[in-house]
Amino acid sequence: MALTRRTARFNELAEAFEAGLAEHDLVLESDVVDQILRHRVDRVAESMRVTPRTALGYAPEDLPQILTETVLRALEQRRAEAGERRPRLRVVPPAS
């Protein structure tokens, strides 16, 4: 069963990740945030040879910060490669 925001810990990490991005004026759709977080948890689960739910329990408190920094580095690299001053991100309205 895939991890979703109905899982308290997943929701906590996803919201902290979104907040970290917002501090840098970046907004990603919730589905994208969830996919990034789920991918990281799945890779850790695979390396630990446990279920994603078990790996989620071992997720460090600074995982949202780590993911935010990863996204920022990827955007900087993309800008450098494309010679852009600002990334082309689609702005979405905040969730109600």
Q: pLDDT tens across 21-73, in order? A: 999 999 999 999 999 999 999 999 999 999 999 999 999 999 999 999 999 99
Count of domains forming the chain:
1
d(CA 52, CA 1): 9
- Section 3-13 average pLDDT: 88
Does 90 reside within a domain?
Answer: no
Q: Is residue 84 predicted with pLDDT exceeding 70?
A: no
Q: Is residue 92 part of a domain?
A: no
In the predicted structure, residue 88 carries a pLDDT above the cut 90: no
Hunting for tokens 């069963």 — which residue is that?
Answer: 1
Among the ranges given (12-16, 23-27, 56-60, 76-80), the one the predictor scored with the smallest mean pLDDT: 76-80
CA 96 – CA 81 distance, rounded (Å): 36
> How far is C-alpha 41 from the chain's CA centre?
10
**Structural domain range at position 65:** 8-82
